Amino acid sequence: MRKIAEGVYRIPARAANTYLVEAPKGLVLVDSGLPGSEKRILKAIAKLGRPPSDLKLVLLTHRHLDHIGSAPMLKKQTGAKLASHPFEKPYAAGTLVISAPSAWSLYGRIVRKLTTLEYWSLKLFRIIKFQTTHVDLAADEESVLDGVGLDGSVVWTPGHTKGSVTLFLNQPSVAIVGDLLRSRRGRLVEPLLMESIPQTQASVKRVLDLGPEIICPGHGRPLPASRVKNEKRVAKPMVVAKKKEEEDLEELTSGLF
């Protein structure tokens, strides 16, 4: 666990960052890592001298497994409420199947294929097992932070996924952005996988217009907002079939878990 700003801590979980925020009425966790990350998160809470029950809210920036995987266990062990954008709620509940967004470059396409293969391999051998869960609160409601008294707002920032959100804190001036941006070679750049480049670019501008001093990505280290590298290009997505391989694998393995 590393302190990013006053009351904001980065907890590197399995495969992705999670962020713990101290609020007047409890703790807020942004994202939860892959299944199994809950032990590391609860250990970090204990290092602050707080009991697990002090975790009051888990905010999910988007639906992907490396961000929501430990949410069911954290909810069970702490009693915390889960919040996400309504677009992401069916995926957490398991009524829609999680799949990777489109790749917008050759490198992104390679990463997408490898990630899909790794996910199904881990699931097949039961190294990870995704548990569905009920999302309690809609992150697009202004009142979602009222319960913990947090001075900030949840901002809808689609692009990586349709229901991606960012937690913006007024004091300290910090934006926790999920996969809207990633840290690479000392810069904050666009994600490799996106449902929409224009939406991503508009969302990045929306976050920057809020004036954050520090931006905390889901992957890589937090950096000053001045390190954001805006891409001017308008790319066309690589041609990818309608996720047929994932659908076939889902049908093949559905009876195993």
Report the alpha-carbon distance of residue 66 to residue 213 in Å, rounded.
26
Contacts of 80 (CB under 8 A, 6+ apart): 29, 55, 56, 57, 58, 74
Domains and their CATH numbers in the chain: 2-227 (3.60.15.10)
Q: At residue 231, does pLDDT exceed 70?
A: no
pLDDT bin (cut points 50, 70, 90) of residue 110 is: low
Q: At residue 10, does pLDDT exceed 50?
A: yes
- Main-chain phi, psi angles of 75, to 5 degrees: -65, -40
Q: At residue 98, does pLDDT exceed 70?
A: no
Higher pLDDT, 121 or 51: 51
pLDDT of residue 93: 87
The candidate with the shortest Cα–Cα distance to 180, out of 157, 152, 153, is: 157
Identity of the residue numbered 38: E
Q: At residue 117, does pLDDT exceed 60?
A: no
pLDDT of residue 91: 87
Q: Tokens 């909810």 map to which residue? A: 75
Average pLDDT score over the chain: 84
Contact present, 33 and 13 (Cβ < 8 Å): yes
Tens-place pLDDT, residues 194-221 = 999 999 999 999 999 999 999 999 999 9
Q: At residue 118, does pLDDT exceed 60?
A: no
Report the alpha-carbon distance of residue 76 to residue 253 in Å, rounded.
27
pLDDT of residue 244: 41
Tens-place pLDDT, residues 141-188 = 878 999 999 999 999 999 999 999 999 999 999 999 999 999 999 999
Contacts of 126 (CB under 8 A, 6+ apart): 257
18 bridge partner residues: 11
53 vs 7, 74, 76, 246, CA distance in Å?
18, 10, 10, 38
pLDDT bin (cut points 50, 70, 90) of residue 248 is: very low
Lookup: tokens for 117: 């293969």
